[in-house]
């Protein structure tokens, strides 16, 4: 059964700083997703990582995937207040429904 763990679960950082958050998963996952969620809102897709060594960047966020280590990272560069949100990673079960299995999420607060 696929399990997804994120750490840290809470992060408070200052604007301008860099940080990396981690997502570990327990069994083989076809793909790894990162989502952003603002309070009371739905999920916004950030990245889909399809293969080992995949790296994607969008603005101040960069995601990578190491399938051998079953690890994905989300790196934040020069954080700004607008990045404050909860970030989820999710893997997919192989075959069948290919449902998403989510981690608990990391609540990020970027302070001026």
Which of residues 1, 14, 45, 68 is near other proteins by CB under 8 A?
45
Instruction: Pick the closer one to other proteins by CB: 33 or 63.
Output: 33
Task: Write down the residue that tokens 């603005």 correspond to.
Answer: 59
CA 58 to CA 9: how far, in whole Å?
Answer: 22
Stretch that binds other proteins, among 19-27, 41-49, 63-71, 76-84 (CB under 8 A): 41-49
C-alpha distance from residue 112 to each of 8, 11, 36, 76, 85 (Å)? 21, 14, 20, 15, 15
Stretch that binds other proteins, among 11-19, 55-63, 67-75, 88-96 (CB under 8 A): 88-96
Which of residues 19, 22, 24, 48 is near other proteins by CB under 8 A?
48
**Is position 100 an interface residue for other proteins (rule: CB under 8 A)?**
yes
């Amino acid at each position: 059964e696929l399990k997804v763990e994120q750490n840290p679960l809470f992060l408070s950082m200052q604007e301008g700083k860099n940080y990396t958050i981690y997502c570990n998963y327990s069994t083989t996952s076809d793909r790894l997703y990162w989502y952003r969620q603002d309070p009371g809102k739905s999920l916004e897709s950030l990245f889909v990582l399809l293969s080992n060594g995949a790296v994607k960047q969008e603005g101040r966020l960069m995601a990578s995937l190491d399938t051998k280590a079953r690890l994905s990272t989300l790196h934040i560069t020069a954080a700004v207040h607008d990045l404050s949100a909860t970030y989820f990673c999710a893997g997919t079960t192989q075959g069948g429904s290919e449902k998403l299995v989510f981690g608990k999420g990391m609540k990020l607060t970027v302070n001026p």
